[in-house]
């Protein structure tokens, strides 16, 4: 069982990313290793080029993101941890897969429609082919499992179609991967607007808890969280109580317990204030060690570059073989099967 996931180097990582994606990565690297296989985690700098970016900031954001993932527990000895642009087979395979990707399918992607509508200067060709690069990321490793947020569902379905079409046309070469949506994280809501997902774009700063917020800021954001005016206050999960339900889910995720257990732990609470404080404390307990390790890891950029270099070497041992098979299957390149150097 092989796992692949990619994470954007843009924006600051928030609680939804942490509980939804990052915690699942750490669990996945262990599960893959236990199964005698490997999990690959990739900071996708090439995907960050699909919308306008500042060259001076790109590398910084990649380091920031890498340091958060490592601080959260990704272990480059246990998994393969890479920067996308370090492994050239991702881009080579993108071109090949483009040959079996329907233009009409790309045109139907929700993310392309949303993002292209927002571009003022230029809707780049890279924004359009974004899902093909994402397919190549995964298919270059013959990964079986793709843990991603619900917003990436359509992209994973497309990559499955692309793999199936490739195999039908050129013979069984690629593995058709499965989507894996996290149980909780997909539903972490904005604290100020608990009917919309916590997000870096569009959400409120007040309602978004960042992994690197200090303990005081975290506490303040939870204290101001929107709840409801039920009288007496009711600590329960209910569609009509999105704010309270969200706090219960966060508390449960941060403590590693079920929502029912979280509710039971608050049986003596006198109101929503107790729920908010319990949640803030649980989140700070979860994030404090991450913040401390982050500060150490982030300041040593040479060490981060070494980690990326070692990751790329391990990654290419896989991707060169897959790419050689792809070239052989498609009749591209020299007569004999040669792995890329
Ligand atoms: N598009 C994904 C996102 O925005 C990131 C990503 C890039 C990815 N390549 C991937 C996720 C491959 C899973 C597999 O979240």
Cis peptide bond upstream of 104, omega within 30: no
Confidence of residue 4 (pLDDT cuts 50, 70, 90): very high
What dihedral angle (degrees, nearest 10) is formed by the CA atoms of 310, 314, 316, 318?
-170
What dihedral angle (degrees, nearest 10) is formed by the CA atoms of 119, 64, 146, 172?
80
Atom of ligand 1 nearest to the CA of 44: 7
Residues 34 and 60 in one domain: yes
Confidence of residue 305 (pLDDT cuts 50, 70, 90): very high
Residues 33 and 133 in one domain: yes
pLDDT in tens, 206-253: 999 999 999 999 999 999 999 999 999 999 999 999 999 999 999 999
- For residue 3, the cross-strand partners are 39, 145
For residue 144, pLDDT beyond 90: yes
pLDDT in tens, 240-286: 999 999 999 999 999 999 999 999 999 999 899 999 999 999 999 99
Structure confidence at residue 163 (pLDDT): 98
For residue 154, pLDDT beyond 70: yes
pTM for the full predicted model: 0.93
Contacts of residue 92, defined as CB under 8 A and 6 or more positions apart, other chains included, come to 323, 340
Atom of ligand 1 nearest to the CA of 149: 15
Residues 20 and 95 in one domain: yes
Structure confidence at residue 135 (pLDDT): 98
Alpha-carbon distances, residue 138 vs 11, 130, 176, 263 (angstroms): 23, 13, 9, 39
Residues 124 and 147 in one domain: yes
**Where does residue 247 rank: exposed (0-12), middle (13-18), buried (19+ CB within 10 A)?**
buried
Task: Identify which of 43, 46, 47 to mutate to test ligand 1's pocket (most ligand atoms within 8 A of the CB).
Answer: 47
Ligand 1 contact via 43 beta carbon (within 6 Å): no
Ligand 1 centroid–CA 135 distance in Å is: 9
Residues 129 and 261 in one domain: no
Q: By the 8 A CB rule, do 266 and 277 touch?
A: no
Residues 116 and 83 in one domain: yes
Residues 144 and 44 in one domain: yes
Contacts of residue 192, defined as CB under 8 A and 6 or more positions apart, other chains included, come to 204, 206, 207, 224, 225, 226
Task: Provide the domain count of the chain.
Answer: 2
> Which residue carries 């270099």 as its tokens?
309
CATH assignment at residue 113: 3.40.50.620
Please tell me whether residue 39 adopts helix, strand or coil conformation.
strand
Structure confidence at residue 263 (pLDDT): 96
Contacts of residue 86, defined as CB under 8 A and 6 or more positions apart, other chains included, come to 308, 309, 311, 312, 315
For residue 182, pLDDT beyond 80: no
Structure confidence at residue 294 (pLDDT): 97
Structural domain includes residue 267: yes
Structural domain includes residue 262: yes
Ligand 1 contact via 137 beta carbon (within 6 Å): yes
142 compared with 21, residue with greater pLDDT: 142
Structural domain includes residue 156: yes
For residue 184, pLDDT beyond 70: no
Structure confidence at residue 72 (pLDDT): 96
For residue 185, pLDDT beyond 70: no
Residues 161 and 76 in one domain: yes
Ligand 1 contact via 15 beta carbon (within 6 Å): no
Residues 264 and 291 in one domain: yes
Structural domain includes residue 189: no
Query: How many percent of the chain have pLDDT more than 70?
Result: 99
Residues 326 and 280 in one domain: no
pLDDT in tens, 103-121: 999 999 999 999 999 999 9
Structural domain includes residue 204: no
Q: Supply the residue whose CA is at minimum distance from atom 7 of ligand 1.
A: 6
CATH assignment at residue 279: 1.10.240.10
Structure confidence at residue 338 (pLDDT): 75
- CA-nearest of 335, 330, 332, 340 to 166 is 330
The whole-angstrom separation of Cα 212 and Cα 186 is 20
Structure confidence at residue 186 (pLDDT): 59
Ligand 1 contact via 152 beta carbon (within 6 Å): yes
Residues 20 and 116 in one domain: yes
For residue 335, pLDDT beyond 90: no
What dihedral angle (degrees, nearest 10) is formed by the CA atoms of 157, 44, 96, 158?
10
Ligand 1 contact via 283 beta carbon (within 6 Å): no
Structure confidence at residue 205 (pLDDT): 87
For residue 20, pLDDT beyond 90: no
Confidence of residue 336 (pLDDT cuts 50, 70, 90): confident
Ligand 1 centroid–CA 219 distance in Å is: 31
Please tell me whether residue 218 adopts helix, strand or coil conformation.
helix
Atom of ligand 1 nearest to the CA of 155: 1
Atom of ligand 1 nearest to the CA of 4: 14
Structural domain includes residue 190: no
Query: Which stretches within the chain are classed as H helix?
Result: 15-17, 23-34, 55-72, 89-98, 103-107, 110-118, 125-139, 153-170, 215-223, 242-255, 259-264, 272-298, 301-330
Query: How many percent of the chain have pLDDT more than 90?
Result: 88
Confidence of residue 100 (pLDDT cuts 50, 70, 90): very high
Residues 282 and 305 in one domain: no
11 compared with 27, residue with greater pLDDT: 27
Task: Identify which of 2, 4, 7 to mutate to test ligand 1's pocket (most ligand atoms within 8 A of the CB).
Answer: 7
Structural domain includes residue 80: yes
> Which residue carries 């005698």 as its tokens?
36
Structure confidence at residue 339 (pLDDT): 79
Q: By the 8 A CB rule, do 71 and 25 touch?
A: no
Domain extent, residue 53, equals 3-182+300-330
Structural domain includes residue 194: no
Structure confidence at residue 11 (pLDDT): 61
Atom of ligand 1 nearest to the CA of 130: 1
């Amino acid at each position: 069982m092989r796992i692949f996931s990619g994470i954007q180097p843009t924006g600051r990582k928030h609680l939804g990313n942490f509980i939804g994606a990052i915690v699942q990565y750490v669990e996945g690297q262990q599960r893959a290793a236990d199964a005698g296989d490997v999990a690959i985690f990739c900071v996708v700098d090439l995907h960050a080029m699909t919308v306008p970016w500042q060259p001076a900031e790109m590398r910084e954001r990649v380091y920031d993101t890498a340091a958060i993932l490592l601080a959260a527990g990704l272990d480059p000895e246990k998994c393969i941890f890479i920067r996308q642009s370090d492994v050239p087979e991702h881009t080579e395979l993108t071109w090949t897969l483009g040959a079996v990707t329907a233009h009409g399918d790309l045109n139907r992607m929700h993310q392309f429609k949303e993002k292209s509508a927002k571009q003022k200067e230029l809707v780049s060709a890279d924004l359009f082919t974004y899902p093909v690069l994402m397919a190549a990321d995964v298919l270059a490793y013959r990964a079986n499992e793709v843990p991603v947020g619900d917003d990436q569902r359509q992209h994973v379905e497309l990559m499955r179609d692309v793999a199936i079409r490739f195999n039908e046309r050129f013979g069984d070469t690629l593995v058709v991967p499965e989507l894996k949506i996290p149980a909780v994280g997909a539903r972490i809501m904005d604290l100020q607007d608990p009917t919309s997902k916590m997000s870096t774009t569009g959400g409120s700063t007040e309602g978004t808890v960042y992994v690197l917020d200090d303990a005081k800021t975290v506490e303040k954001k939870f204290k101001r969280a929107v709840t409801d005016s039920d009288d007496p206050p009711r600590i329960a999960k209910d569609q009509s109580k999105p704010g309270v339900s969200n706090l219960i889910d966060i508390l449960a995720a941060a403590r590693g317990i079920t929502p029912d257990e979280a509710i039971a732990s608050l049986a003596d609470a006198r109101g929503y204030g107790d729920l908010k404080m319990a949640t803030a404390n649980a989140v700070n307990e979860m994030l404090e060690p991450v913040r401390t390790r982050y500060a150490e890891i982030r300041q040593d950029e040479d060490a981060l570059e070494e980690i990326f270099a070692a990751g790329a070497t391990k990654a290419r041992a896989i991707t060169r073989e897959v790419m050689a098979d792809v070239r052989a299957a498609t009749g591209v390149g020299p007569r004999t099967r040669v792995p890329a150097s």
